[in-house]
Chain A
Amino acid sequence: MKTKKPKIIIMSGYGLNCEEETKFAFDSAGGQADIVHINDLIAKPKMLSEYQILVFPGGFSYGDDTGSGKAYANKFKNHLAKELTEFLSRDTLAIGICNGFQIMTNLGILPGALAQNKNGQYIDRWVDLKAGGVSPWLKGIKKISLPIAHGEGHYVIDKKDYENMKKNGQIAFTYAKGEIYNFQNLEYNPNGAQYDIAGVLAYNGRVLGMMPHPERAMFSHQNPTWYKNKKVPKEGKGLQIFKNAVNYFNK
């Protein structure tokens, strides 16, 4: 018998903006996702204990003023530090996508930091990723192509921490040469990220932060190579990440 759908809380407010399509992705993957404004969670912090998956979606919280993710992370820390610790101490999952990843590093629950892109400009394009590390989020994924859209995606980490992360299987995604690179002949590392890092893990792989947007790859037509070969399933490859999370609780 199938278990109850896992409940997913997707944070919103103050300029986060990918919450609706991220909910659509989790719902399509078989979960039950709620979008919750940070002030509503602050008003009822106990609410967090009802959820299995915590999501910081993409967006432009506080307009990246004072540095991406800083202000939203500060607000979360000021009011919800205890609840966050409690949440992560349970057998839960969490993901931060793009601005959500930046928020999570500022919260201190993921290592490293995200600085301005090497060329100083916001960039929207597709990239190829090699998956690594040990995580329920990544089950069955070896390589994947997804879009990025960010101005501050240049991952920074010092060498010693990097070596440790590598040893612990905490490197979730690295930019690599693949389908998109071969198709459009662009730089494979779009932002100068150190060690080509695009996504990282913590808490034994339960917490994932990534700059690319899997929710923007849930339909095949979103991939730029689609027009060359339309005879592919309508579902996009990015949905697998959301399915993995939902299935973690349906095992």
Chain B
Amino acid sequence: MISRIYVMPKNEAIKADSYLIDSKLSKKELIQLALALTNPILENYFINESPQIKGFSFAIEIGFLPGVTDNVGHTVKEITKDLLHLKKDSDFQVFTSKIFFVKEKNTEKVREYSLTLYNPLIERANIVSIKSNKINFLNEIPKVILKKRKLVINVSLGSDDELIEIGKKGIKNDDGTRRGPLALDLSSMKVIKEYFSKLKRNPTDIELESLAQTWSEHCKHTIFANPIDDIKDGLYKTYIKGATNLIRKNIQEKGGQDFCVSVFSDNAGGIIFDNDYLITHKVETHNSPSALDPFGGAVTGIVGVNRDTIGFGLGAKPVGNVYGFCFGEPNDKKPLFRDKEKKQKMLSLKRIMDGVVKGINVGGNCSGIPTVSGFVKFDDRYRAKPLVFAGTVGLIPRKINGKPSHEKTALAGDYIVIVGGRVGLDGIHGATFSSVVMDSNSPATAVQIGDPITQKKLSDALIKEARDMDLYNSITDDGAGGLSCSVAEMAKECGGAKVFLDKVPLKYPGLSPWEIWISESQERMTLSVPKNKWKIFNKLMQSRGVEATAIGEFTSSPKIIVQYGGKKIMDMEMEFLHNGLPKHHLKTEPNKFTSPQTPLLNKERGKRGEVYTKTLETLLAENNVSGFNFISQQYDHEVQASSVLKPTTGAGRINTDAQVFRPVLNSNKGAVLSTGICPSYGDISTYHMASCALDTAIRNSIACGGTLSELAILDNFCWCSSNDPKRLAQLVDAVKACYDCAVGYGTPFISGKDSMFNDFKGYDERGNEVAISIPPTLLISAISVMPDLYKTVSPEFKNNGDVIYLLGETNDELGGGEYFKMLAKNIHPALKGTQEEGNNTIGQNVPKVDLEKNTKTYLATEKAIQKELLASSMSVTSGGLAIALAKACVGGNIGCKVSIDKINGSLASVLSIDAKLFSESQGRILISVSPKNIKEFESIMKDISYFRLGKVIKGEKLLITDRKNEVVDTNVKKLTNIYHKFSNSQK
């Protein structure tokens, strides 16, 4: 029987919750349940009858589409079972929905409004009119009904044309439809054909799907692994891993401490934190899913990378989350469509931003992991594919039960055990999907919704209990490719694996074996549990509300064997599965694009004097420069009681460029997180874009107290059209810069991830084809250990009379910076909306990194911080010195008076005022020092370039002069309003 319970707020309700219950519950039991769902002070319940709804015309019900994870429904099921002592597998289903009441009387307008409430890819809307203050919704259950299909298909591999079709569009079903992209090219398909012709049989669908997952760009990182031009070992081995190997060798040769413990080999990278602990870091991207379902995509992104931490070594505890967003301009309302008929409209940019922001909110907050660090960037070219970075820092004892915790080995004979969520159709073809261009064929099932609480339960049960009880030998997470990848990866540790797919617990019946095998349903980990420990392991999981199932056994024979219904449906050699992918020799082509023009500076336009005041104020309002407190404030950054330098700081709550936290509460050691990302420099040179990203991440860390000798970095390349040799040339440049800078600073890469096809093909509102690619983007994340967190320095000015210094050299390096971008935007309204917008007059002098000089500056800063000589310290980044001064004043709610006369660099003797104020030259730190510490400070700085600029002054004035001319005269209150204006408008 289907019943409906409404729970409605008591006062002036504009919405209600609805629970559709398909059960054999009695009336009395339903009342008991309704009472449990209602807080009597706040709400009323109604069973199978409509509440009285006064003053509204329509009700809109938003529920999930069949098969989409309904987290609340899941909780209500648990509540009911516990409350009414139902049997474990009693026939009982709950489906939740939200009901919104609207006053609008026009049906069409209500329908339009309803579109802003739901995402048709995962949700459904049901609109009814309210008659005599009552609503009447049909009790329709969104059950998944799967047609009976042939369980396993043998796929015949015929002509090249057929191979191409299978690779691009997928295996053909009985009814002629195709299953969705395998993203295998002809040469891969040919290798597969050859392999099976030697075996004298056709592959089964599950074998082919399994190969597609394992060989996907997402899993194999072919662009970084393949030889390219004369780099025969490929970019990753030569430059990324190559840099780390060289740095570690250098350290060891000098007799220093190599703090790298586990790099590139596990789900995250691990370095030494102190004598007792390792600290790990990993940053992922979740771009394609976030474009389709921003909320679900972002939740899945963050809880997914949490699992990378739980899957590090024997299981690290997540102690900090990080995020990074690259969005299109949220006020841009130009629609995009995935199809020519304009039926598949892309979500608006505001919706994408709000959804992604909320996704990280729910994923992080619900998991009890502080969101320590984050950034947001805007560029028109991210409007079709936003970039969503999500990362997690973990903590793990160096030894567990006397053994090194970062080592793990599944043994032949161990059970293959999966724990956590059940398997459904969600996320099928996620790995192969993220390896292709997004268009109208993008699979809706690629979307998953994370359930942070299911994961929290399994995380606690594993890393707070089972791990220390020594109940398993190895662990990894189920991410891209699902079981097909996790089992095959772990099987490398012992030889092979044998799986009985019928044992995998399902969300609903009717899934084909291949779907079970590659589904990316969330919140699952795969473990190898010794047979004699299975009973106690399973009992522990049960008592923690976590489902665990043994689905097979690890073996020593080098094969993956999968059985279903007593039949062998997959039988593949590990060697072919993991190493059969043919190598491609990639070629680059020089990327000759027209050099961007330089805009006219203020002086050249005949403007003088205080014109810079206006320029500074306008620049501070740019959303790549101003604050984003609306995001920081809704993420719990203080759970685990570890916060030291928070996401915002000071009276004026400016966003910090680096954050410090205390992962071990009884230790005074701090962990420092920071990032560097400067995609617009890449319009001029990707080499300098990459070196500046690296320098920025390091400088941000050093400025607040990070330690150069204990600093590790992570790379996330998000590229576009990576089969275009010109884009590959830009990639090679960027990777070489990574190598040069990492080696130069002695900061090893410990982990990384790439996403190489961030391209969109679709249609505009007139039905014209449009192609939008993101600008090549590199995120560098840094993690550093500082010896004494009580020495952390925050960036805002503190006290009247403190002396202000600028460390490092300023050069005419305005190219690609925020100032030129702002001028470009204002100069060329005609170019608005085109791909060229904003990047054709951004100048040529992109900032360059001087490794030697900057190293000296950073080491001197470290020393000054250790001696506690600094009152404030801010890394100079987007918008240059003037913006740094403005932010330091806003943060401290105090003024300053500085002179920029003497500032110069090594490249030119005379700098324009524009360059002094807004150049984004790297390696610079803005510092204030109490007068009593000046002498000691200056003696530490004597061998580096520094300039004494002026003083912090009480009151509200921010004054900048150049050769006795006042160039900026503004006030801090005004700047504070400007700084927070964009953020406040997004609340």
* A residues at B contact (CB < 8 Å): 12-15, 17-18, 20-21, 24-25, 37, 39-40, 43, 58-60, 62-67, 70-71, 74-75, 78, 106, 112-113, 115, 119, 121-125, 147, 149, 151, 156-158, 183-185, 213, 215-216, 218-219, 221-222, 224, 227-228, 230, 234
Enumerate the 8 nearest inter-chain pairs by beta-carbon distance, A residue then B residue, closest first: A17-B368, A21-B641, A65-B75, A113-B41, A63-B453, A227-B794, A65-B72, A149-B636
Known A66-B72, A185-B651; contact A14-B41, beta-carbon cutoff 8 A:
no
Residues of chain B within 8 A (CB-CB) of A216 are 638-639, 641, 643
- B641-A124 in contact (CB<8A): no
Q: Which of A18, A119, A156, A219 contacts B41 (CB 8 A)?
A: A156
- A149-B638 in contact (CB<8A): yes
Q: How far is the CA of A125 from the CA of B662 in the complex (A)?
A: 18
- Nearest CB of chain A from residue B634's CB, rounded to whole Å: 5
User: 5 A-B pairs, CB-CB below 8 angstroms?
Assistant: A15-B457, A37-B543, A60-B368, A60-B453, A124-B638
| Most A CB within 10 A of own CB, among B7, B451, B545, B798 | B545
- Nearest CB of chain B from residue A17's CB, rounded to whole Å: 2
- A15-B79 in contact (CB<8A): no
Q: How far is the CA of A119 from the CA of B633 in the complex (A)?
A: 13
- Nearest CB of chain B from residue A214's CB, rounded to whole Å: 10
Q: Which residues between 611 and 649 of chain B lie within 8 Å of chain A, taking CB atoms?
A: 633-644, 646, 649
Known A147-B638, A221-B644, A222-B638; contact A230-B790, beta-carbon cutoff 8 A:
yes
| Most A CB within 10 A of own CB, among B37, B39, B545, B650 | B39
- Nearest CB of chain B from residue A40's CB, rounded to whole Å: 7
- Nearest CB of chain A from residue B545's CB, rounded to whole Å: 7
Known A13-B457, A227-B650; contact A71-B75, beta-carbon cutoff 8 A:
yes
- B37-A70 in contact (CB<8A): yes
Q: Is the interface of A mostly helix, strand, loop or mixed?
A: mixed
Q: In this complex, what residue of B is CB-closest to A40? A: B543
- A121-B634 in contact (CB<8A): yes
Q: Which of B72, B82, B366, B644 contacts A75 (CB 8 A)?
A: B82
- Nearest CB of chain B from residue A81's CB, rounded to whole Å: 13
Q: How far is the CA of A215 from the CA of B643 in the complex (A)?
A: 12
- A71-B79 in contact (CB<8A): yes
- B545-A39 in contact (CB<8A): yes
- A149-B639 in contact (CB<8A): yes
Q: In this complex, what residue of B is CB-closest to A150? A: B636
- B57 CB–A CB distance under 8 Å: no
- A78-B83 in contact (CB<8A): yes
- B792 CB–A CB distance under 8 Å: yes
Q: How far is the CA of A59 from the CA of B796 in the complex (A)?
A: 32
By size class, the interface of chain B is: 35 or more
- A227-B633 in contact (CB<8A): no
- Nearest CB of chain B from residue A82's CB, rounded to whole Å: 17
- A221-B543 in contact (CB<8A): no
- Nearest CB of chain A from residue B849's CB, rounded to whole Å: 29
Q: Which residues between 683 and 731 of chain B lie within 8 Å of chain A, taking CB atoms?
A: none
- A60-B42 in contact (CB<8A): no
Residues of chain B within 8 A (CB-CB) of A74 are 36, 79, 82-83
- Nearest CB of chain A from residue B712's CB, rounded to whole Å: 24
Residues of chain A within 8 A (CB-CB) of B365 are 60, 122, 149, 151
- A39-B644 in contact (CB<8A): no
Q: Which of A60, A65, A122 contacts B76 (CB 8 A)?
A: A65
Residues of chain A within 8 A (CB-CB) of B635 are 122, 124
Q: In this complex, what residue of B is CB-closest to A121? A: B634
Q: How far is the CA of A18 from the CA of B7 in the complex (A)?
A: 29
Q: How far is the CA of A25 from the CA of B641 in the complex (A)?
A: 10
- A184-B651 in contact (CB<8A): yes
Q: In this complex, what residue of A is CB-closest to B40? A: A113
Residues of chain A within 8 A (CB-CB) of B649 are 224, 227
Q: How far is the CA of A106 from the CA of B974 in the complex (A)?
A: 46
Known A14-B453, A66-B75, A124-B635; contact A156-B42, beta-carbon cutoff 8 A:
yes
Q: How far is the CA of A46 from the CA of B641 in the complex (A)?
A: 31
- B460 CB–A CB distance under 8 Å: yes
Residues of chain B within 8 A (CB-CB) of A39 are 543-545
- B653 CB–A CB distance under 8 Å: yes
Q: What are the interface flags for B456-467 relative to A under an 8 Å C-beta threshold, 1 for contact and 0 otherwise?
A: 110010000000
- A13-B545 in contact (CB<8A): yes
Q: How far is the CA of A20 from the CA of B646 in the complex (A)?
A: 20
Q: In this complex, what residue of B is CB-closest to A124? A: B636
Q: Which of B41, B636, B644 contacts A122 (CB 8 A)?
A: B636
- B367-A213 in contact (CB<8A): no
Q: In this complex, what residue of B is CB-closest to A66? A: B37
- B86 CB–A CB distance under 8 Å: no
- B366-A63 in contact (CB<8A): yes
Residues of chain A within 8 A (CB-CB) of B633 are 123-125
- A66-B79 in contact (CB<8A): yes
Q: How far is the CA of A26 from the CA of B79 in the complex (A)?
A: 31
- B456-A15 in contact (CB<8A): yes
Q: In this complex, what residue of B is CB-closest to A229? A: B798
Q: How far is the CA of A185 from the CA of B890 in the complex (A)?
A: 13
Residues of chain B within 8 A (CB-CB) of A224 are 646, 649-650
Residues of chain B within 8 A (CB-CB) of A227 are 649-650, 793-794, 796, 798
- B789 CB–A CB distance under 8 Å: yes
Known A74-B36, A125-B633; contact A14-B457, beta-carbon cutoff 8 A:
yes
Residues of chain B within 8 A (CB-CB) of A221 are 643-644, 662, 789-790, 792
- B366-A15 in contact (CB<8A): yes
- B665 CB–A CB distance under 8 Å: yes
Residues of chain B within 8 A (CB-CB) of A43 are 543
Residues of chain A within 8 A (CB-CB) of B367 are 17, 60
Q: Which residues between 58 and 83 of chain B lie within 8 Å of chain A, taking CB atoms?
A: 71-72, 74-76, 78-79, 82-83
Q: What are the interface flags for B796-822 relative to A under an 8 Å C-beta threshold, 1 for contact and 0 otherwise?
A: 101000000000000000000000000
Q: How far is the CA of A115 from the CA of B42 in the complex (A)?
A: 7
- B452-A63 in contact (CB<8A): yes
- A113-B42 in contact (CB<8A): yes
- Nearest CB of chain B from residue A154's CB, rounded to whole Å: 10
- What 9 new A-B contacts, CB under 8 Å, besides A13-B545, A24-B665, A63-B366? A15-B366, A58-B639, A62-B78, A63-B75, A66-B79, A71-B79, A124-B635, A222-B643, A227-B793
- Nearest CB of chain B from residue A229's CB, rounded to whole Å: 9
Residues of chain A within 8 A (CB-CB) of B651 are 183-185
Residues of chain B within 8 A (CB-CB) of A75 are 79, 82
Q: In this complex, what residue of B is CB-closest to A148? A: B638
- A119-B987 in contact (CB<8A): yes
Q: In this complex, what residue of B is CB-closest to A222? A: B643
- A62-B453 in contact (CB<8A): yes
Residues of chain A within 8 A (CB-CB) of B798 are 227-228
- B460-A60 in contact (CB<8A): no
Q: In this complex, what residue of B is CB-closest to A123? A: B633
- B210 CB–A CB distance under 8 Å: no
Residues of chain B within 8 A (CB-CB) of A183 are 651
Known A37-B543, A122-B636, A125-B633; contact A17-B456, beta-carbon cutoff 8 A:
yes
Q: How far is the CA of A20 from the CA of B319 in the complex (A)?
A: 12
Q: In this complex, what residue of B is CB-closest to A43? A: B543
Q: Which residues between 509 and 539 of chain B lie within 8 Å of chain A, taking CB atoms?
A: none
- B216 CB–A CB distance under 8 Å: no
- Nearest CB of chain B from residue A96's CB, rounded to whole Å: 15
- B39-A59 in contact (CB<8A): no
Residues of chain A within 8 A (CB-CB) of B638 are 124, 147, 149, 213, 216, 222
- B262 CB–A CB distance under 8 Å: no
Q: How far is the CA of A170 from the CA of B39 in the complex (A)?
A: 21
Q: In this complex, what residue of B is CB-closest to A125? A: B633
- Nearest CB of chain B from residue A62's CB, rounded to whole Å: 5
Residues of chain A within 8 A (CB-CB) of B665 are 21, 24
Q: How far is the CA of A63 from the CA of B651 in the complex (A)?
A: 33
Q: How far is the CA of A71 from the CA of B35 in the complex (A)?
A: 11
- B857 CB–A CB distance under 8 Å: no
Q: How far is the CA of A78 from the CA of B650 in the complex (A)?
A: 47
Q: Which residues between 885 and 901 of chain B lie within 8 Å of chain A, taking CB atoms?
A: none
- B188 CB–A CB distance under 8 Å: no
Q: In this complex, what residue of A is CB-closest to B465? A: A37
Residues of chain B within 8 A (CB-CB) of A125 are 633
